[in-house]
Structure 1
């Protein structure tokens, strides 16, 4: 027997009603959501959902998991449909959870304005009926219920109580212009029995979903697509929201906001762009060439592959896994290839020479996730040379930055006209791990360095393509090319064309931009680049720029300092309790001064020294990147009485060369002294003893050199004969930053402290620097950001406080906690430029 959902009209006071067009629209799309089809019978005025059997109706109709009501989100919209009815449509269909037995959970809320209300009942025969009754104002205002229809177990029968189900799902309705129908004039009974009704005429099926949606605003269609009420196949008009033409820069932020609101658009864009016509890959699929491919799914098309010169006596020596790819403005702007392996490293350098490459962009580590991603195809150390098929490669010098390395190669080859020599730059992004996405601002900065080098005539004279590779020449290479090409388009024409260029990439090579996450990262990176704009400027303009930043804009009443800091706060990530689970564990909670300041697990140092069974690997500390090194600093709070040993474990385990203390609270039980006072040794915890070696005191700075001794207490280490070698570190304390002051009383003392720390690190190993304040958030952000800016001034003659502060707040959002600290970062850089830049010979 077919199971049905039937709508019956029973109106009190001898009034009649009929099924309006708004009803047909509403139930038609409700049926689409649960996989059925509503039909209308004009003689009985019944709207019936046809399904194959009772179990299908029960499993596809609205079912809530018992005891668990998870409301992920509601979309509330008002429809004006053919002037017939005003409908309020609230839906929550984002996650249709499928259980192991195949049942589905669905929550649907429908409310309609008007004097009539409709309630759902389910009879013992498994039919769900909608009864229309008249209500007073108080009843209409109290309707706010959900429909719950639990599934029966196979082979059993459960009676549904009409009272329970009548309270399950209510909706209000007003039919403004519905014609009266004689088939629904039976107002005497409250429950119509379908079996006793008059002979039914042939049922007329409703039109398709796309026909019913022609008059609905596009935002409503997107809401329905996003919630799962519609599929793209059912509503082709929703494709109009996908920009098939370039988007103006002025509209791009709104364009991105729409995709955050309706993530289905990103998915549809990505899937549509990937559905391109493939081409022949006959050469790359040859048995003799297959070993040359890192990934057999990413093989160059024959029509745009890089064809090497044939070597005498070596068949198929013209093959290399590389493809020419156009940018948006320039043909053959890129050569995308895979990272070379031992077999193909000579072919890689032949490609570089033959294509006359302008530079190399490397987007993978040589070793990542316990796998060799790419062999090191350059000499192991500076000054050495290696020869690959007659091409000599020498390693001149490198420039190390926090997220990438710039290497300078000299390549030479004997030719018909004698020896030819070229200079080649390699830009190696080192912090883009496989199956992840890096930080957007870091990629923007990386791309800026690449373009700046190519524009410098003193560095390169080549006009050839940029060679881009990751491990297999797929996802990461495509992401970089999409970002680079679109940023070039923004600079030239002021438009963005992500969707159009994505299709071009997939037509040029398989696997470029592999995942939806990578496609979304392209949007995020371009949006951040456009929103933030150019934040750096030459150091020669520093004084002029600072004067301009103090001027308030007439419209916003904000100066540039305030605008920049507000933008930084908006872009700062927020961490959940799950991200910081380690600090919220019951055995670690007492190690935090403030429950709101907890380090995220992905960016905190883990203690490795064994101090006893009651100790854990947790300390309230977090890594912070510097300008030239990742994880250059560790920020932590002043230790508690029971975490003194953990602090020295942190210094010992991570070979910290320096400890910087930016506060001097009066001695108390809450702020205990954690280093020896005087020429004596003090034990901290069961393992560590700190010996005083020497000290120096200046007017505003004090420094001590300590030797840290570790006692082995682990039975495993004792049996293995492990000996813990003593380690040395220097502790610096700034004495001119009193409690309650937002900035120190002497800017020169803080700059001098930074110089002293840097000189000490040059004498020792460049281990991380531990920086401590009373709460682990105040003051320390200023130290990190100012240090990064000073390094940038020294290396590149640029100032970019905006990005420095943004990077500092990445792992601990509370750093640089107010506008005063943000502005003081500029003052510190200015003080350094005016008083130290040209006299400090060691930093030139």
Structure 2
């Protein structure tokens, strides 16, 4: 309960002090007696004497004592008065009380009795007083006084010895005790003024001028000046004033002391609780504001009393400070307090206090765990009690602190950029801020996962002996895992020589070969991951003794070599054993192939080379050591006796059975372009096969010797060349030319120029099928009446000899069912030096023959598709598989043909939906941990590698593979449907690979199983640094199109990505409406950005396409194959289902696994291009060609020479630098890396 005492106004009267009043005595007796009573016994007076033991402090009040002002009236009238009577005056008062017998009329006796008021409480006074408020006035009467007991009377008094009757008017007065009175005794002394004024009370009023007015209240009789002043003004707080009160009827005067109370405004009730305790305690304090300079309180401090009372608490007295503990936080408490002076209320106040915020609850269920080596995840349940903020701090133990404020409703957070294999302490703190900040914590510790260690430091190799090298290094900066070992690999070239390991990086490598340069690779393995290797090169020295022996041996071997024949006896290979023979010769790193190739002389010295070395012809040779033999060089007609005018660096080459079927030539230089066209005219050549680009690796390989489409025609000496048509295909460019001679009247001659653009700068094409396809195109343009087929690269020997060798050997295989590659290469080198320049080209000829022999011709033109497909489906006899089924059965599965280490690592297994569909290491899509902030990389650092080494760059894993598109390898991405935990990685892949279109071929669920996590939401979602905002959705019966806007925190411009979701396609079945799938493909092409060129409505080639289903193979394989086939049909009017599926199977497991899916591809193309009246009806969107090139993987553009005219405006790399170039040195051997390579196509717009 709350006590609310009244609060007086400081300027008003203070509450008055009250006492009980005694009733006035009345009598009809009128005269004073002149007689004096005889002396009385002291025992008789005892009842009327003051009690010396009377204690004023024991007096009680019906209500708290107040300073009051009673009305001015004489004491005998009654009222509440103060009686201040010093001890000595008691005797005077006693004598006065003895004279109560008043004479009256003869025969009348009047007795006056002063009854006590039993209801009146005793009054507090400075001196002992009677219980009545004043002494009775003297009564004068002739009445006869009787007592209960008979008293002896003197003369003039009639005494009856019997009980007297009650007093009436003019009757005998009785008292409780009979007093013996003598007759004729009269009281003549004046009573003391204390009797009049002893019951006075004082009322104090506080004025606006901060002074007090004291008003006296006399109870018994009127008090008038000058005997007494009722009001005393201008009194100061705590002032004392002596006053004297007198009256003619009494003596001596009554002395009274005024004690003025303190100023009420001097007291202020303040909150004194300390901030740290304000949540569970309250404190009130009466503060005295106006202490004088000496620091002493003028008023009597002992008379000040304080009272406090608060809700639900016990009251408190006599202390100026009040404190309550164990309260509830955030609760209102109402308190009342009073200040009393001399037991009288001086001031009271009420105060409502709200306790401060209490400590919040600690977050519940707080746990943290590592997601991977650099990321963690923490979850919690927010406190139920009030809190105004929450923050999460984590630090390395020991290490610096990193704090992240959290939203109040947040229940989890992903931690990024953590250190691998590091112990982190995470503290989640709920806070509330009031007068002080109070908090409760939840703490958790966890370890991040291990990762690859960094490279070793300070690697060095020093030679200790002639063939012993010491290798040492320092510890990596980051182990990122447990303690492990150092590993050493010793290599010469690509050959691994030795391996060693140990807990310390100190190795002594002995017994190395003399005079050999070794590459020492050292890396650290922390038992979980192997770090990137650091390498250093060192060479052994020669052995003096061995050197002498070697020189002697060399002299002997050289002498013998001059005497014997070098060529080996290599038997032709029959078609039935071609594959087995190839595998046998490839075994043991292809040493049999190497032995065969090295046995063939580079140059047959018996054939003279004189014309090419003449001084006037030397500047016509691109390489000084690749020159034509004199006996079979192509001779031009002489021009006006000009010396050397009949020379060109070109040689006649025999075919399989046809002499001079080919002309092998060097790539024209600027100085020899006129001679080259003169040779084309004079030799009646109609087909030119160019197996190089004009510029490769910043080196000029060939002049651009044809006119552009903008030029239309160009004159080269007497030869006029006009361009009629330019057609770009993925691996080659076809140009239709008309060649004429100004000096001859004959009409122009049609010449077809085919430039093969997919030969890598180093090595050979990975897929020999590309050269078989080139051969088909060349043979389609040549005829029996044409002149020789002109083939050239840069030097006219390496790639040129390879193509000629493949073409000739295929003729032999078709004619004789066997091939003699070794014999034909020997024949080539007898006709032109260094033909088939390196071992890898020699092996490539065998690979092309195996490919042709094993799989045959599977390409079909659209014009022949319908009858071809009809025959392929027929079974003859019915018990045998159809030709189409047999073709499908010839498809290689490529199961486990490459390593799959990354996807099968323990930490990545949970990221795979299907344990059988794991991307190969060589073409998996690797995610970078962070993007460069300065600019976007033009060259992808994660480009697929030729080796399958585990020592690759640290990158995050996602189940996705690059697959071959029609236009360029490693542009289309085949991926599994994201899991919930890989949605962030999925969007990172979309952003990092610059994907513009996502094709989704599955529903979110297949039956009761999840087929794909929903990786999009309404509004904005953040995945690391990438923010995804779904902007629009359009639905049709067949598919749904969604538009997303992607933003990166370190990039300014947003990207738009479209998602095409094909509806209602179960992965185990084929699409019910194939036309809808084709329509969606044609529609999504419209979302790919178009080229900024005059090439029209063609799409840019640098736009990656991402396709996913449940596992990234079932529906994805069908879509990718169909997409490529539609592009091929629109571009070249041919399709090759077999090769399209084969390339997909090499890229990812499980692609197009069933015959039904294989046949479906044929059927969709046939229905898309129906035959009408023997003609194929082209697609409605033949112009919607998607020429894809990967911006992320794009290297520096190489000039393709054969560029469309519009390319001249947009591609500087396509222009041939003007001016003659000096004759270069011998062309270095082309590298024999027989592994996957990524041809780079020059962007034509």
Q: Tell me whether the two structures share a fold, i.e. TM-score over 0.5.
A: yes
What's the counterpart of residue 1116 of structure 2? 780
Deviation at 1:637, TM superposition (A): 2.2
Alpha-carbon distance in 2 for matches of 1:387, 1:651: 50
Match of 1:304 in 2: 632
Residue of structure 2 aligned with 1:101, choices 506, 511, 517: 511
SS at match of 1:810: helix
Q: Which of 817, 840, 850 in structure 2 is aligned with 1:527?
A: 850
2:976: which partner in 1? 637
- Relative to structure 1, the CA distance from residue 377 to residue 269 in structure 2 (aligned partners, 3 Å threshold; closer, same or farther) is same
Q: Distance in 1 between matches of 2:649 and 2:1058?
A: 52
Whether the 8 Å CA contact 1:644–1:685 is kept in 2: the answer is no
Cα distance change, pair 695–538 in 1 and its aligned pair in 2 (3 A)? same
Match of 2:772 in 1: 444
Of residues 776, 787, 790, the one that matches 1:464 is 787
Residue 729 of structure 2 contacts residue 1131 of structure 2 at CA under 8 Å; is this kept in 1? Answer: no
Q: Contact between 2:1004 and 2:1013, CA under 8 Å: does it hold in 1?
A: no
Q: Is the 8 A contact 2:903 2:957 kept in 1?
A: yes
Which residue in 2 is equivalent to 1:90? none
Deviations 1:99-157 (A, max 9, x none): 963689xxxxxxxxxxxxxxxxxxxxxxxxxxxxxxxxxxxxxxxxxxxxxxxxx9xxx
State the partner residue of 1:358. Answer: 686
- TM-score (normalizing by structure 2): 0.44
- Residues 1169, 1178 of structure 2: 8 Å contact kept: no
Q: How many residues align?
A: 600
Contact 2:974–2:1107 under 8 Å retained in 1: yes
Whole-angstrom distance in 1 between the partners of 2:513 and 2:676: 54
Distance 1:408 1:102 in 2: 59
Residues 1:415 and 1:655: Cα distance change in structure 2 (over 3 Å): farther
Establish whether residue 487 from structure 1 lines up as the match of residue 487 from structure 2.
no
Shift of 1:265: 4.4
Contact 1:378 1:393 (8 Å CA) reproduced: yes
Alignment CA distance shift 1:334-1:631 (3 Å) = same
In 1: Cα distance, 2:1171 partner to 2:1075 partner:
9
- Describe the superposition over 1:263-288 as per-residue Cα deviations: whole angstroms up to 9, x where unpaired: 55434433344377332222223455
Matched, 1:752 2:1106: no
Are residue 432 (structure 1) and residue 768 (structure 2) matched? Answer: no
- Return closer, same or farther for 1:543/1:326 CA change in 2, 3 Å cut-off: closer
- 1:841 paired with 2:1180, answer yes
898, 902, 910: which one aligns with 1:576? 898
Shift of 1:323: 1.2
SS of the equivalent of 2:631 reads: helix
TM-score, reference length from structure 1? 0.63
CA contact (8 A) 1:276 1:503 kept: no
CA spacing shift, 1:292–1:620, aligned 2, 3 Å:
farther
1:699-746 C-alpha deviation (Å, 9 max, x unpaired): 12111233333331xxxxxxxxxx64333332111112135x232333
Equivalent residue, structure 2, for 1:271:
598
- 1:350–1:541 CA distance, 2 compared to 1 (3 A): closer
- What is the SS of the residue equivalent to 2:1156? helix
Q: How does 1:533-544 map to 2 (within 5 A)?
A: 533-539=856-862, 542-543=865-866
**SS state at 1:841 partner:** coil
* Counterpart in the other structure of 2:1040: 702
User: Shift of residue 473 of structure 1?
Assistant: 1.1
The offset of 1:512, in angstroms, is: 0.9
Are positions 1:515 and 2:838 aligned together?
A: yes
- Distance in 1 separating the partners of 2:984 and 2:918: 19
Secondary structure of 2:1034's match? strand
Contact kept, 8 Å, 1:689 with 1:709, in 2: the verdict is yes
* Change beyond 3 A, Cα 1:842–1:353: same
Matches within 5 A, 1:362-377: 362-377=690-705
Task: Give the CA RMSD over aligned residues.
Answer: 4.2
> Secondary structure in 2 aligned to 1:324?
strand
Name the SS for the 1:305 alignment partner: coil
The 1-side partners of 2:907 and 2:792 are apart by 46
2:1061 to 733, 740, 746: 733
Deviation track 1:685-708 (CA, whole Å, cap 9, x = no partner) reads 31x233334332111211123333
Whole-Å Cα distance in 2 between the matches of residues 811 and 562 of structure 1? 23
Query: CA 1:332 to 1:548, structure 2 compared with 1: closer, same or farther past 3 Å?
Result: closer
Q: Which has the larger radius of gyration?
A: 2
Alignment of 1:274-673 (within 5 A): 274=601, 277-278=604-605, 279-311=607-639, 315-382=643-710, 384-417=712-745, 420-438=747-765, 439-455=767-783, 463-539=786-862, 542-543=865-866, 545-546=868-869, 548-550=871-873, 558-569=881-892, 572=894, 574-577=896-899, 593=913, 597-600=917-920, 603-604=923-924, 610-611=930-931, 616=955, 619-631=958-970, 633-641=972-980, 643-666=982-1005, 671-673=1012-1014
> Closer, same or farther in 2 for the Cα pair 1:486/1:401, shift >3 Å?
same
Is the Cα contact below 8 Å between 1:357 and 1:462 reproduced in 2? no
Contact 1:362/1:470 (<8 A) preserved: yes
Indicate whether 1:684 and 2:1012 are aligned: no
Using the alignment, how far apart are the partners of 2:906 and 2:1038 within structure 1?
A: 41
1:301-360: CA deviation from partner (whole Å, max 9, x where unpaired): 111122234455864343322111111221111111122334433433333333332211
1:227-251 deviation per Cα after TM superposition (whole angstroms, max 9, x unaligned): xxxxx99x99x966x21xx555455
1:637–1:772 CA contact under 8 A, matched in 2:
yes
SS in 1 for 2:1081: helix
- Larger relative contact order (C-alpha < 8 A, sep ≥ 6)? 1
Q: Is the 8 A contact 2:928 2:955 kept in 1?
A: no
Partner residue of 1:805 out of 1131, 1141, 1147? 1141
**Partner residue in 1 for 2:423:** none
Question: How far apart are 1:603 and its partner, in Å?
Answer: 3.8
Q: Secondary structure at the match of 1:320?
A: coil
Tell me which of 711, 720, 724 is aligned to 2:1049: 711
Structure 1: unaligned runs, 5 residues or longer = 1-67, 69-93, 105-153, 155-231, 456-460, 713-722
Q: Secondary structure at the match of 2:1046?
A: strand
State the Cα distance separating 1:659 from its structure 2 match.
1.6
Going from structure 1 to structure 2, the CA distance change for 1:653 and 1:247 (only over 3 Å counts) comes to same
Give the SS at the match of 1:446: helix
Identify the residue that residue 1206 of structure 2 maps to in structure 1. none
Is the contact made by 1:342 and 1:375 (CA closer than 8 Å) also made in structure 2? yes
